[in-house]
Amino acid sequence: MKKNISLLVVAVLFSTAMVGCSKSESVSTDGSTSMSKVIESLSEAFQEKTGTEVTYNATGSGAGIEAVLAGRCDIGLSSRDLKDEEKAKGLEGTIIAYDGIAIIVHPSNKVSDLSLETIAKIYTGEIKNWKDVGGADGEIVLIGREANSGTRDGFESITDTEDKCKYRQECTSTGDVITAVSSNHNAIGYASLASVKDSVKAVSVGGVAPSESTVKDGSYAVQRPFVLVTKKDTELSKSAKEFFDYITSSEANKIISNAGVVSAN
């Protein structure tokens, strides 16, 4: 009997120890593909600091907002401001950073600067050939994002081209836009500045090149916010709240900056 009691005590102590050493609750994020670099950098730093895993589902801004509404993730990621109708459903947006939307062309393209007005005329089909804007003779191929994209929403809002763009190809991610433009000498596209690679060339807009400094001082015209989306009246889990507080604190500023965007804090 005494032996059985001792074994029971050992079992209870072992069970308690296992609970104490159990893996931390994970945090789920869902949304903007443009925010991949910054959210992955922040998630990695947070996991190293706390041991809590953060998952990221790159579905696009619209899908991320819907995921929050449906309760499929802790925090949504949007590369545009929330619309009034989304706020009316109880959603709340917290701006974490500002990102430039780079207007990109093939590296061989001679065009290096376009005005906002010219970009609008190109995307609405009023200007169809590169020779009309200082480039070589060739039909302009318009590359953009899919309808639920925050990048597309931001681009079309800034250029005043909503529902007017004559896209040749609509891509489901920032990476796909960059790949499409890098593969076509006559293509033009738009992509998150933080994601732009050497395989494409970012043109200046109105004489201002896209950079962290020009986004920060507001001189680069084509920029948008990176937004964390949550439910206003729904409390985050302990781990999700810790992650939210961490990435909106001044401690995260350097990580955000290193990801190529401008911290909002």
Confidence band, pLDDT 50/70/90 cuts, at residue 216: confident
CA distance 137 to 120: 20
Name which of 65, 70, 67 is nearest 93 in CA terms: 65
Please tell me whether residue 157 adopts helix, strand or coil conformation: helix
- pLDDT for 229 equals 98
User: Two tokens at 152?
Assistant: 């597309």
Q: What is the pLDDT of residue 9?
A: 40
pLDDT at 10: 40
Burial 144-176 (b: 16+ CB within 10 A, else e): bbbebbbbbbbbbebbebeeebeeebbbebbbb
For 185-202, write each residue's pLDDT tens digit: 999 999 999 889 999 999
Average pLDDT, the chain: 91
Please give the structure tokens belonging to residue 205.
Answer: 């807009």
pLDDT at residue 7 in the model: 43
Tell me the mean pLDDT in the region 19-47. 83
| pLDDT single digits (tens) 218-242 | 999 999 999 999 999 999 999 999 9
Asked if pLDDT for residue 125 goes beyond 80, the answer is: yes
Tokens standing for residue 83:
């619309």
37 - beta bridge partners?
A: none
Question: Which whole number is the average pLDDT over 65-70?
Answer: 97
DSSP state letters, 232-254: TTSPPPHHHHHHHHHHTSGGGHH
The pLDDT score that the predictor gives to residue 8 is 42
pLDDT digits (tens, 9 = 90+) for 159-168: 999 999 999 9
Closest alpha carbon to 156 in 122, 184, 106, 132? 122
**What 3-state class would DSSP assign to 194?**
helix
